[in-house]
């Protein structure tokens, strides 16, 4: 099936990640987004609504009296309305649409807002759900308060450092081109990220070269499996295309097969037949649907008299709302639904920490060994240290926030064990060794099947939302998911200690 790419109107999302999406969008224009895609879009709509509610409606005391905000409604005339709003010299314009051409490519762009700056030029502003800047001593970025967009003509300096995201850079560069066409480009673009109250500015010329290169890329003629495929609306079309040619990316996604491609190996069967040792053995395991293999005959798992499995759930960068613990008999959730960043989160963390340290002390007093486990300690370490730092010095009744050094002492001790690290030393899997792969091999299954990190982000929003019936369901779902993550870690430990029955030895082929 051929596609006439000159007719294709590019969107910024076409320029990052899989370029085959653009081909499939052209072929199957009416394909609905995947459920993950819909949830993502819902979160973005919610982020925009939060930001739009903060934007000024009228001048504040001390501002010039004249202030014109134009909210452009969705619709076919949005592009025309944008140009009209610019001609009217509006101070703030939302719902902006631009179309343009760069070389052979035509493109379409939505921009959340345009704010009028000094000299009558405009600042394009986009809203996203990622972090666009992080606080850093000694760093400096220009910023405007969201509540002052269109009113404050000059930004102020804040000690933040920009976090680069290619997609944001492309959107703002395209917006700068569109504004330059009407001689209103300020030379700056801005993004509002997880902190909805701050608009961070950056020069918009830094991405122009990369944008030109991205616009000139010829779309590929066949798919290659990448990470994004998991949530892509076109997977049901791409999967059969990949399977038909036994494409090596079915097993090794993204660039992971690059070195084999350079050797002329483009299929899974080709990799198996090349007899390259572990890569070929893993390709065979993938084809035979064997998720986990043993690297060696004898396996081990550290055990203790008192064993606690821990799993944290956080919402984006905003905070940790759930510390789940499982002691082999009972699952105990330390949870708050009262919002993040304030005392509710601090107190919840303090209660969890107090409980954990009490169990540790009780074990020591009884002469018992103690160990706490998690599966991949990165998140837990990040939020334990981060919570100690963010709520430093606070006390909530009998529960206090530990000093950072106390947390450091614990997470660097032999009593804090990362099961993922131990699993990686002893096992190997064609699809990786995530808990969702290893625990089922150990015979453990989640009550909430198909729930993953992104789903949990979505569920948290509902759990703290206004629809109380939906919130109750989402809370139950999150607790079930977290509890099972803790139990799954325990199950993996027991399975490893038993020698991972059912997992063949690497190189030995079928079970
Ligand atoms: S399913 Fe994968 S290969 Fe196909 S368009 Fe989507 S991201 Fe690209």
**Exposure b/e, 9-37, CB count within 10 A at least 16 = b:** bbbbebbbebebbbbbbbeeeeeeebebe
Q: How far is the CA of 281 from the centre of ligand 1 (A)?
A: 27
pLDDT for position 7: 62
Most informative mutation of 228, 243, 249 for ligand 1 (most atoms within 8 A of CB): 228
pLDDT tens, position by position, for the chain (511 residues)? Answer: 444 555 678 999 999 999 999 999 989 999 999 988 998 898 899 899 999 999 999 988 888 888 999 999 999 999 999 999 999 999 999 999 999 988 778 899 999 999 999 889 999 999 998 889 988 889 999 999 999 999 988 899 999 999 989 999 999 999 999 999 999 999 999 999 988 999 999 999 888 899 999 998 888 999 999 999 999 999 999 999 999 999 999 999 999 999 999 999 999 999 999 999 999 999 999 999 999 999 999 999 999 999 999 999 999 888 999 999 999 999 999 999 999 999 999 999 999 999 999 999 999 999 999 999 999 999 999 999 999 999 999 999 999 999 999 999 999 999 999 999 999 999 999 999 999 999 999 999 999 877 777 788 889 989 998 889 999 999 999 999 999 999 999 999 999 999 999 999 997 754 4
Q: How far is the CA of 1 from the centre of ligand 1 (A)?
A: 16
Domains, the chain: 5-216 (3.90.320), 227-290 (no CATH), 306-497 (3.30.420)
Q: How far is the CA of 202 from the centre of ligand 1 (A)?
A: 31
* 162: β partners: 133
Residue tagged 């494409």 (tokens): 247
Q: Which is nearest to 457 in space by CA: 361, 362, 379?
A: 379
Q: How far is the CA of 146 from the centre of ligand 1 (A)?
A: 36
Atom of ligand 1 nearest to the CA of 223: 3
Please give the structure tokens belonging to residue 338: 């009262």
The CA-based dihedral angle spanning residues 126, 132, 137, 140, taken in that order and rounded to the nearest 10 degrees? -30
Cβ of 21 below 6 Å from ligand 1: yes
Cβ of 235 below 6 Å from ligand 1: yes
Residue 208 dihedral angles phi and psi, to the nearest 5°:
-60, -40
pLDDT for position 61: 81
Whose Cα sits closest to atom 3 in ligand 1? 223
Q: What whole-number distance in Å separates Cα of residue 387 and Cα of residue 265?
A: 48
**Exposure b/e, 384-409, CB count within 10 A at least 16 = b:** bebbbebbeeeebeebebbeeeebee
pLDDT for position 2: 44
H helix or E strand, kind and range, residue 259: helix 258-262
Residue 332 in 3-state DSSP? strand
Cβ of 229 below 6 Å from ligand 1: yes
Half-sphere exposure of 131 toward its Cβ, with a 13 Å CA cutoff?
11
Cβ of 226 below 6 Å from ligand 1: yes
Q: How far is the CA of 255 from the centre of ligand 1 (A)?
A: 14
Q: Which is nearest to 308 in space by CA: 460, 430, 166, 417?
A: 417
Q: How far is the CA of 228 from the centre of ligand 1 (A)?
A: 7
pLDDT for position 63: 82
Q: Give the DSSP letter of residue 412.
A: T
Decide: 260 and 279 in contact? Cβ < 8 Å.
yes
For 429-492, the DSSP string reads: -TT---HHHHHHHTT---SSTT--HHHHHHHHHHHTSS-HHHHHHHHHHHHHHHHHHHHHHHHH
Most informative mutation of 20, 26, 27, 237 for ligand 1 (most atoms within 8 A of CB): 20
Cβ of 39 below 6 Å from ligand 1: no
* 123: β partners: 115
Q: What whole-number distance in Å separates Cα of residue 110 and Cα of residue 39?
A: 19
Please give the structure tokens belonging to residue 138: 């000694």
Residue 501 dihedral angles phi and psi, to the nearest 5°:
-60, 135
């Amino acid at each position: 099936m051929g596609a006439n790419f000159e007719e294709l109107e590019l969107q910024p999302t076409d320029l990052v990640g899989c370029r085959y999406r653009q081909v499939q969008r052209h072929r199957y224009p009416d394909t609905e987004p995947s459920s993950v895609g819909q949830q993502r879009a819902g979160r973005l709509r919610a982020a925009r609504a939060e930001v739009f509610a903060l934007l000024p409606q009228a001048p504040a005391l001390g501002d010039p009296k004249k202030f014109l905000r134009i909210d452009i409604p969705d619709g076919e005339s949005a592009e025309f309305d944008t140009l009209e709003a610019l001609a009217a010299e509006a101070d703030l314009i939302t719902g902006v649409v631009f179309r343009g051409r760069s070389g052979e490519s035509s493109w379409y762009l939505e921009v959340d807002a345009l704010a009028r700056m000094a000299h009558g030029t405009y600042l394009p502003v986009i809203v996203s759900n990622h972090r666009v800047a992080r606080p850093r001593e000694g760093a400096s970025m220009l910023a405007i308060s969201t509540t002052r967009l269109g009113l404050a003509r000059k930004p102020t300096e804040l000690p933040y450092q920009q976090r680069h995201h290619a997609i944001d850079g492309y959107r703002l560069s395209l917006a700068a081109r569109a504004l330059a066409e009407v001689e209103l480009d300020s030379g700056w673009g801005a993004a509002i990220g997880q902190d909805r109250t701050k608009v961070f500015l950056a020069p918009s010329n830094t991405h122009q070269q990369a944008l030109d290169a991205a616009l000139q890329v010829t779309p590929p003629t066949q798919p290659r499996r990448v990470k994004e495929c998991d949530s892509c609306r076109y997977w049901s079309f791409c999967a059969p295309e990949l399977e038909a040619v036994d494409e090596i990316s079915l097993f090794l996604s993204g660039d992971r097969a690059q070195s084999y491609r350079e050797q002329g190996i483009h299929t899974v069967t080709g990799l198996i037949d090349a007899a390259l040792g572990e890569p070929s053995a893993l390709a065979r395991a993938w084809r035979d649907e064997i998720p986990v293999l043993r690297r060696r005959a004898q396996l081990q798992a550290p055990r203790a008299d008192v064993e606690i499995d821990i799993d944290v759930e956080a919402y984006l960068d905003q905070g940790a709302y759930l510390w789940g613990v499982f002691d082999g008999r009972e699952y105990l959730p330390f949870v708050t639904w009262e919002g993040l960043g304030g005392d509710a989160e601090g107190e919840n963390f303090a209660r969890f920490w107090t409980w954990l340290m009490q169990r540790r002390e009780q074990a020591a007093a009884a002469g018992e060994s103690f160990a706490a486990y998690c599966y991949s300690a990165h998140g837990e370490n990040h939020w334990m240290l981060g919570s100690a730092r963010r709520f430093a010095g606070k006390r909530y009744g009998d529960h206090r926030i530990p000093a950072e050094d106390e947390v450091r002492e614990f997470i660097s001790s032999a009593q804090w064990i990362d099961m993922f690290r131990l699993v990686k030393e002893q096992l190997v899997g064609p699809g990786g060794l995530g808990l969702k792969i290893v625990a089922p091999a150990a015979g453990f299954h989640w009550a909430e099947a198909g729930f993953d990190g992104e789903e949990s982000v979505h569920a948290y929003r509902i759990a703290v939302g206004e629809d109380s019936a939906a919130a109750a369901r989402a809370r139950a779902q999150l607790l079930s998911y977290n509890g099972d993550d803790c139990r799954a870690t325990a199950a993996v430990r027991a399975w490893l200690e038993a020698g991972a029955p059912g997992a063949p030895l690497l190189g030995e082929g079928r079970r």
